[in-house]
Structures are given as C-alpha cells and as structure tokens.
Chain A
Amino acid sequence: MRNIRSIYVPRRQVIRGLLATAAFGATSKLWTGCSSDSATSNSTTESGSGTGSSDQPLVLGFLYVGAKDDYGWSQAHALGVKEIGNLPGVKIVEQASVPETKDVQEVMRSMIDEDGATAIFPTSFGYFKPHILEMAKQYPAVQFFHCSTLWEAGMPENIGNYYADTDEGQFVAGRVAAQTTKTGKLGFVAAKPVNPVIRNINSFIMGARSVKPDVKIQVIFTGDWLEPVKEEQATNSLADQGVDVIGVHVDSPKVVIETAEKRKIFSSGYHADQTDLAPKGYLTGTTFYWAEFYKNYVDMIKAGKKVMDGSIPRVIQGSMKEKYIKLAPFGPAVSEAAKKDAEDAEAKIADGSLLVYTGEIKDNTGKVRIPKGTAYKMTDPVLDKIDWLAEGVQGSVS
C-alpha cells in the first residue's frame, strides 16, 4: 500500500512539470510575439534616429566601471564629460557601473545601435581586452578611444588611445607633503604593485625627498583596486605607526581620505578633487583633467577627422604641461611657502626645466637604477618598465 501511495506523488509532479513547461512555452510564445513586434519598434527607432540626424548632433558614448560620484577614476572622467556635455551639437550618452564582462560589449552595442553614437570612450583599463577589440572589429566605422596606451600594430585601426601621466603631479604633491609632515614619516595606500602605481609611489617620495632628503614612506598594498575594508585598516595602521601624511592610489580614494581625516592626519589625493571629504587634512592631490582631452576630441571629430586615416593621432599623451594633470586646490594645512614652492615646481615642470626622472636614482635596496646624468622625459617607454621602489620607500613589490 505504501508503495502504491508513493507512486501518486510523482504523478502530481508530472502535472506540475507540465504546467511549468506550459508556462515556459507560453513565455516563449511571448518572445516570438515580441520579435514580430520588433520589426515595427525597430523601424520607429530608425525613423527616430533619421529625424535626429537631420540636425546632426555628435553622439558620444561614455562607459565607466564605477559610479559617477566615486571620488575616483570614474568621477574624474564623468567630470570631464560634464564639461563637454554643454557644447553645442554634442549629445552624451553615458553609463556607469558597467562591469568588465560581456556587459561592456552589450552597452557599447546599445550606444551605437540605439543611441547612434559614432565615437565610444570606454574609460576602464579592463575594457580593452577582449571587449573593445571585439567591438572595434564588429563596428569598423565607429571610433573607439580608450584611456590607456595599449594599442599595438595589428589591432583594429579604429581604436585610438589617450593617457595622462601622473608622475609629475605626484612629484609636486610629494613636495607639499614633505613640507607639511612633522614626523618625517609618510604613508601610501596602494592597490597593486603594477607599473603605474609603483611610478606614483616613487615620484611621490622622490618629490618629498627633493625637499627633505631624510623623509621615508611606508607603503601598504591592499591587493586589489577596490578593497574598502583593507584600505581603512591600512590607513589606520599607518596612522598608528606615526605616519602623518598619506598618499593613495586605489580605484576610489574615498575611504583612505576619510579615515585619515578621522585620525586627524593629512592626506594627498588622487584621480579627482576630494577636498570635501577631508576639509581639514586634505593637502592637495593629483587630479586628471580629462575635459581637456574630450574637448580636443570633440573638435577633431566635428572637423571630420578620424583615427582610422591618421588625422586623429593614434595616441594622445600628456601631463602637467598640457594641463591634462592638475593639482587639486590646496587645503588649509598647506603653508604659504609650500604653496609657492609647488607653484614654482609646476612652472618648471611645464617649461621642461624640471624632469622627475633625473639621475641619480637608487631603488630601496641601494641599487642605482637611473645613473647620474641620465634623465627621462615622461613619454620615454623606459619608464613603463619600472618595477622597483625608489630609495626611501619601506615595502616591497612582491
């Protein structure tokens, strides 16, 4: 009897299964229903873009990996975009918090197909491979401008690069830090020991030691670009060790700057202006001024220039001289003398009389890395190979 009863149970399940399948089938009917609709909806969108193209607005698509107000990388870009958004004849479509998955391709595709974008600016490093390469292949008429220097021969011709080197900004910020510190101990919260981060740490301490040669800097790598908990712990442990100025290079410096303010120590920012996070302790910071790039691109694209035929340069790169990199407004803790010194240094960097990478530069094991008499300009590819920490840095890359 028991056995027979238990047979009834699956029978009920059969009905349930049938119903579920029917529901599935019903929805699949819905899909086909939709796809037959799609013909009409497509044609309406097409006619929509047709009427749009009569007054020819230039549609630019921007993708950010973070939020537009993350006080970091994405915010710096979004601020730049905001400035060109007001230009006549320019229409911006932007999307924030786009993860580095197939989503990137989907978003770019929608921007091109639905919004009619003719140039796409995917702003995160991680978007490049494979996503931008893939889309550039599929849309050869659309221009893709990626914020990096990753393009190599053999990659699609419709990809351009732009980048700003931050070393000079960090160098001047380091000088400001050295003139503010009382303990002579600086700290640096960094994401990963990769070339751009290492260069920022190095130029920060080189700037500091060009003012006070005995200043030391303690570096903590959190291991990833976005690690708010570890960033807070790192900042606290640096403060515990007597560090009184903290520099930072992570995706969003928000946590580090706020924690430093709580601990009543000074901070030097990165990416975007973070003054309002730490009104007392914020000294200054290296900030990107992407608007300068974007204005430039808008002018060139409007003039009908294209990266495919070389009328837009493959790589546009610059730094303080071109105003691509700026220092954030000085905080109240920065002395008048330090302000003056920073402005002088900026001026010297702009006219080329001060080069950050001027020998002799030793690493923190005492080995000479750039010999005396050698100096490298910011665009020198040698700098992309730097994987050592400069003298005065306490920490290691491995």
Chain B
Amino acid sequence: MSKTPQSRIWIANGLGMLSRYNWRKIAEAIALPVGALLFSLILFGIFCAFCGKNPFAVYGLIYKSAFGSWRSFQGTLLRAAPLMLTALCTALPARLGLMIIGNEGALVMGGLGAIAAGLLLSYGSITPSPEQLQNVSGIPSAGVLLGMALAGIVAGGLWIAVVGALRHYRAVNETISSLLMNYIAIALMNHLVGGPIKDPGETIKASSFSLPEMNRLINLPTTRIHYGLFYGLIACVIAYFLIQRTTFGFAARTAGGNVKAARIAGLPVGKLTVMICFLAGSCAGLAGMAEVAAVHGRVNESLVAGYGYTGILVAFVARYNPIACTLVAVLLGGILSSGGALQRTLDMPDATALVFQGLVFLVILFSESLYGRFRVFKEPIAPIAAPPLPPSSSTTVSA
C-alpha cells in the first residue's frame, strides 16, 4: 500500500517538472492563433463562394502567388520587411501595458530624419544648390547609410517617447495621443516637402531632394529584397531577448502586469515607459529609413502607405511576441502580395485581399477571448499528496 503513494509522488514530481515548462500554455498559444487562421480561411472561402469563385482555387492561388516560388516569395518578403519593424512599435509598449498606435507617424518621422541626414551627409545641405548637387561628398555610402539609420532611429524614437512621457507624467491616454501624433507627423512631412525642403525640380508631387544613387540601400545579391529585411529580423530578435531575457525586460513586464506592485518594488516606471516607447518608435523610424533609403530615395506623400497601421495588425496577431511578429509579417506580406494575383487571374475585386485581412484580424481578436476556455490546455489539478509544486506565482507572471 505504501508503494503506490511513492510512485504517485514520482509522477506528480514529473508532472511538476513538465508544468514548470508549461507546455500546455505554449500549445495553447500556438494552437489558438493557428486555429483562428484556419477558421478565417474557411470564412474567406465562403466569401469566395458567394463571389462565384471556387474557394480552393483561391487558396491555391494565394499560396502560389505568395509562397509558391522563390520569385513570388521575394515579393512577400519585400512587403513583410517594413511590417516587422512597425509591428514592434505596438508590440514593445504592449508588454508594458501601453497600447500605442503611432506607428505610421513614427515611420514618417524616421523617414524625415533619414532623408535629412542622408542629404546632409551626401551634399552638405538639405536643400542643395545645383552646384552642390554636382559634388557628392566623399563619405562612403556605408557611412551615409549608418548616419541615416541613426537619424531615423532617433527621430522615430523621440516621437513615440513623447507619447510615453505624456502618458507617465501627464496621464494622457497613450492610444489617443499616439494616434493624433500620426496626423501631426504626416502634416509636418507634407509641410516640409511642400516648402522648406522642397525640390523645386519636382512638379507632380511635392518631394524632398533625392539621395544620390550610390547612397541608396542596395538589394541582397541576386534578389530584389533590400537589406531592410535584415533590419526587421535583427530588431525582432533583439527585442525578444530584451523583453524576455534581461532585467530591463523583466522590469518592463512587471510594470505591465501591475504598475502599483512595480512601484512598490522600486522599479523606475517612468523611465521604463519612456525608454520602451523610445525603442518602439525607433523601430518604426528605422522602417521609415529603409523605405526612404531603399525604395523612394526621397520623402513625399508616398511614404504614408499604411505600413504603420498594418503593423498594428501584425502586433495583435503575434500577441506582442517579437519573434512571432516576423512570422506574422511574412504571412500578411503574403496576403497583401496575393491580392494582385486574385485580381489579375480570377478577376476578383481589388478589396478581396483586404476582406481576407479583415477576417483574419477579427477572428484572431475573437480568439483572444478563448484563452483558458479549453480544458485541454488547462493545468491538471495537482494530485493529492503531491509535494509542493513550483510556486503558482511563476506561472501567473506570464508573458
């Protein structure tokens, strides 16, 4: 009789070890978004059927035109590159309990900072005279690009840091203020390219001067993907380690879990808020820099292309996990790039890709309410006579 309890204790111990790694929670965190994706695919299929198209042909085409070949996958990665960075602008502060949607504004400010630095380093002036345009400075292009990236990071970072500071010191709602800052940034850019930094040679679209060809961000060899994709991947990995593996990140997550507790524990909540916001903004700013340096070569209204807003979506779907942001960005990039093929090949309306994107977003948001509802993912109740399990507090300090 006495043997059974002993083996039970071993089993309980084993379970305790497992539960320390919390595999059920991980399974839940993976299964629910994937299930939500599948469900939205079904809904989208119904929509396609109503449009008179074979849903499976549509799925097939989406897959083929987004991921089907290396050539088309490059198009997906191209679109995903800025999304990874702008997603971080929402994902990072979310860990601190802040809902920031100023991605678009920070991207624009980053673009403005980058072009200012790029023109200054290339020509010595933001509004170069015709003579200055003839002599590009001798600074190597890597130096110019580094300067542009730094300027983009600082400009975007300061822009969102203002939101964080307003939140902490003046209790201004960060969602509203960051949204409004978007409009200010876009208006500021329109004002600047329409007057102070305008290239008078450009008549169709008010623009800043263009960067010299040699100081652009180049493509990866034999592809059409520019190096901005690496910025996104690296930034996401760094953000992940910063949030999950450092004391700074732990402090931020603690403050996000319970501000009062964090204060009592002596954490500098104000400093944390402003710093995280700065980092968030700097990511979006870097996206702006990459767009300017790799795609447009100058700043004008084309910079406002909605990457910031799509980034919010990416962050939501990724549940604010920076690594998941990269995957979701690729997925959304694929959806966006397949929209064209749906129009061209199946003659579907141009809003089809948006319908799909909207469905995914809605279903994922809805799936948030299902966490903890499925028994499969619940921790089993500890067996009787089990030794003290690892403290439940370690599981409640969740990501």
Q: Which of A34, A97, A100, A103 contacts B70 (CB 8 A)?
A: A34
Residue of A nearest to B291 (CB): A101
Q: Nearest Cβ in chain A — how far from B216, in angstroms?
A: 10
Stretch at the interface among B112-120, B156-164, B298-306: B298-306
Q: How far is the CA of A99 from the CA of B306 in the complex (A)?
A: 9
Size category of the A interface is 35 or more
* CB <8 Å contact, A130 and B340: no
A42 to B70: give the CA distance in the assembly, Å: 10
Query: Considering the chains assembled together, what is the distance between the CA atoms of A24 and B240 in angstroms?
Result: 14
Q: Are A150 and B204 in contact (CB under 8 A)?
A: yes
Which one of B138-146, B269-277, B367-375, B391-399 is at the A interface? B391-399
User: Is A324 an interface position by the 8 A CB rule?
Assistant: no
A-B contact count (CB 8 A): 140
- Interface-side segment among A4-12, A246-254, A335-343: A4-12
A38 sits at the interface (CB 8 A): yes
Verify B302–A34 contact, CB threshold 8 A. Answer: no
- Whether, in the assembled complex, A17 has its beta carbon less than 8 Å from a beta carbon of chain B, the answer is yes
The complex places the Cα of A16 from the Cα of B306 at a distance, in Å, of 31
Q: Provide the bound-state CA to CA distance between A110 and B205, in Å.
A: 26
A27 within 8 A of B: yes
A214 sits at the interface (CB 8 A): no
Query: In the complex the two chains form, is B71's CB within 8 Å of A113's CB?
Result: yes
Within 8 A of A (CB), among B303-335: 305-306, 321, 323-324, 326-327, 330
Interface string of A6-40 (1 = CB under 8 A from B): 10111111011101110110010011001101100
Q: Which residues of A contact B343 (CB under 8 A)?
A: 94-96
Query: CB within 8 A of B204: which of A17, A42, A128, A224?
Result: A128
Which of chain A's residues have a CB closer than 8 A to the CB of B278?
Answer: none
In the complex, whether B173 has a CB less than 8 A from a CB of chain A is no
CB of B323 within 8 A of CB of A21, answer: yes
Inter-chain contact A101/B350, CB cutoff 8 Å: no
**Contact yes or no, B245 A10, CB < 8 A:** yes
Query: Is A15 a contact partner of B244 (Cβ separation < 8 A)?
Result: no
Q: Answer whether residue A68 sits at the interface, using C-beta atoms and an 8 A cutoff.
A: yes
Residues in B with CB closer than 8 Å to A301 are none
Please judge, given known A-B contacts A5-B393, A12-B20, A95-B344, whether A106 and B78 are in contact too, CB under 8 Å: yes
Q: How far is the CB of B354 from chain A (nearest CB, A)?
A: 8
| Chain B residues positioned under 8 Å from A115 (CB to CB) | 344
Contact of B21 among A6, A12, A130 (CB under 8 A): A12
Is A194 engaged at the interface, CB distance under 8 Å to the other chain? yes
For B394, what are the chain A residues with a Cβ–Cβ distance below 8 Å?
Answer: 5-6, 8-9, 12
Q: Render B336-359 as a binary contact track against A, CB cut-off 8 A, 1 for contact.
A: 110011011000001100000000
User: Chain B at the A interface: mostly helix, strand, loop or mixed?
Assistant: helix
Contact between B305 and A107 (Cβ–Cβ < 8 Å)?
A: no
Main secondary structure of the interface of A (DSSP, over half): helix
Q: Does B64 contact A (CB under 8 A)?
A: yes
CA distance A24 to B331 in the complex (A): 12
* Nearest CB on A from B395, distance (A): 8
Whether A11 contacts B20 by the Cβ 8 Å rule is yes
Q: Convert B254-284 into 0s and 1s, putting 1 for each residue whose CB lies closer than 8 angstroms to a CB of A.
A: 0000000000000000000000000000000
Interface membership of B11, Cβ < 8 A: no
Q: A20-B321, A100-B305, A130-B297 are in contact. Are A110 and B245 (CB under 8 A)?
A: no
Instruction: Quote the shortest CB–CB distance from B47 to chain A (angstroms).
Output: 18
Q: Are B245 and A13 closer than 8 Å at their CB atoms?
A: yes
Contacts A8-B394, A102-B78 hold; do A35 and B305 have CB atoms under 8 A apart? no
In the assembled complex, which residues on chain B have CB atoms less than 8 Å from the CB atom of A110?
65, 72, 75, 340-341, 344
Q: Is B378 an interface residue (CB 8 A)?
A: no
Which residues of the other chain, B, contact A67 by a CB distance below 8 angstroms? 350-351
Asked whether B69 is an interface residue with its Cβ less than 8 Å from the other chain, the reply is yes
Q: Are B305 and A38 in touch, CB under 8 angstroms?
A: no
* Docked CA distance A19–B244 (Å): 14
Contact A24 B73 (CB under 8 A): no
A194 to B200, CA, bound (A): 12
- The smallest C-beta distance from A161 to any residue of chain B, in angstroms, reads 12
B244 to chain A, nearest CB (A): 5
A57 to chain B, nearest CB (A): 15
Give every chain A residue within 8 A of B23 (Cβ-Cβ): 15
Chain B residue contacts of A223, Cβ below 8 A: 190
Q: Which residues of B contact A5 (CB under 8 A)?
A: 390-391, 393-394
Q: With A13-B245, A93-B344, A101-B305 given, is the CB distance from A38 to B68 under 8 Å?
A: yes
The verdict on A13 contacting B244 (CB below 8 Å), with A38-B70, A41-B69, A125-B205 known, is yes
Query: A32 to chain B: closest CB distance in Å?
Result: 9
Bound Cα distance A67, B391 (Å): 58
A126 at the interface (CB under 8 A from B): yes
* Contact status of A17 and B244, CB under 8 A, knowing A24-B327, A95-B350, A110-B340: yes
Interface flag for B22 (CB, 8 Å): yes
A148 at the interface (CB under 8 A from B): yes
Given known A34-B67, A37-B69, A96-B343, contact A24–B323 (CB-CB < 8 A): yes
Supposing A34-B73, A35-B69, A126-B205 touch, asked if A94 and B344 sit within 8 A by C-beta, the answer is: yes
Query: Considering only CB atoms, which chain A residue lies closest to B78 in the complex?
Result: A102
Cβ-defined contact, A20 with B350, below 8 A:
no
* Docked pose: A11 CA to B21 CA in angstroms: 8
Q: In the complex, which residues of chain B have a beta carbon less than 8 angstroms from the beta carbon of A21? A: 323
Chain B minimum-CB-distance residue to A31:
B73
Interface membership of B30, Cβ < 8 A: yes
* Cα-based distance from A109 to B70 in the complex (angstroms): 14
- Quick check: is A111 within 8 A (CB to CB) of the other chain? yes
5 pairs, CB–CB < 8 Å, chain A vs chain B: A8-B394, A17-B323, A23-B30, A113-B71, A128-B204
B residues at A contact (CB < 8 Å)? 20-23, 26, 29-30, 64-65, 67-73, 75, 78-79, 190, 203-206, 224, 240, 244-245, 250, 291, 295-297, 301-302, 305-306, 321, 323-324, 326-327, 330, 336-337, 340-341, 343-344, 350-351, 390-391, 393-394, 397, 399
Q: Knowing that A24-B327, A101-B305 are A-B contacts, what are 9 other residue pairs whose CB atoms are under 8 Å apart, sorted by A's residue number? A: A6-B394, A8-B390, A12-B21, A23-B327, A31-B67, A35-B73, A42-B71, A102-B295, A106-B78
| Residues on A facing B (Cβ under 8 Å) | 5-6, 8-13, 15-17, 19-21, 23-24, 27, 30-31, 34-35, 37-38, 41-42, 67-68, 93-103, 105-107, 109-111, 113-115, 125-126, 128, 130, 148, 150, 192, 194-195, 223-224, 384
